[in-house]
Amino acid sequence: MKQIILASGSPRRQELLKQMGVKFRVVVADTQEAHGRGRAARSICRRNALAKAKVVAETHTNHTVLGADTLVHLGDELLGKPENLAEARRMLRMLSGKTHQVTTACALIEWRRKKVFTVTTRVAFRVLNARQINAYLKAVAVLDKAGAYAIQEKGEWIVESLNGSLTNVVGLPVERLERELAAWFDTYH
């Protein structure tokens, strides 16, 4: 498989690509992310992933570029990255005892070709009290994580069950991405 360009500075996405054995380099996309309401999470993720990939592809025309965007949503409420610990605490209280969704969109672009897909995972949270929330916030740096949590870091403290791709919740739906990359390179290279 040829090398790709990851249009993201996310250490979690980089680690997942390394685990997949994908050769890549990072070129961080400088874009404004679209925002909206929860029912539009898929289209917002698609728009953001595509925008990131397009910005990088404009200057790297002979390379396959991967853009990705992940959103946590509970009903109509979109939960991005918290601005501070008070907002993180509010998000975790909101998610406590409820099932929410995590949607990741991936966009592959090379010259005039593009492929965009989304994967959604359902995550059920345990009922959390203030002490548990505070302990989690002390143990895990959450300010750079959508929904104020990282399932891969002390996730067992807060998550009751998961329906779908675990790696999708981390930031890249590895199982689907592996299939899409194989088809992408088999078809055109």
- What's the mean pLDDT when you consider all of the chain? 92
The pair of three-digit structure tokens given for residue 20, joined into one six-digit string: 């997949």
Domains by residue range for the chain, with CATH? 4-188 (3.90.950.10)
Q: Which residues pair with 163 in a beta bridge?
A: 122
Judge whether 69 counts as a catalytic residue.
yes
Phi, psi angles (nearest 5°) of residue 70: -125, 135
Catalytic residue among 69, 76, 144, 186: 69
Task: Flag whether pLDDT at 38 surpasses 60.
Answer: no
Q: What is the pLDDT of residues 115-127, one digit of tens each?
A: 999 999 999 999 9
**pLDDT at site 76:** 83
Task: Look up the pTM and report it.
Answer: 0.90
**In the predicted model, what is the mean pLDDT of residues 98-119?**
95
Q: What is the pLDDT of residues 139-172, one digit of tens each?
A: 999 998 989 999 999 999 999 999 999 999 999 9
The pair of three-digit structure tokens given for residue 80, joined into one six-digit string: 């991005």
Task: Flag whether pLDDT at 33 surpasses 90.
Answer: no
What percent of the chain shows pLDDT beyond 90? 78
Q: How far apart are CA 26 and CA 44, in angstroms?
A: 23
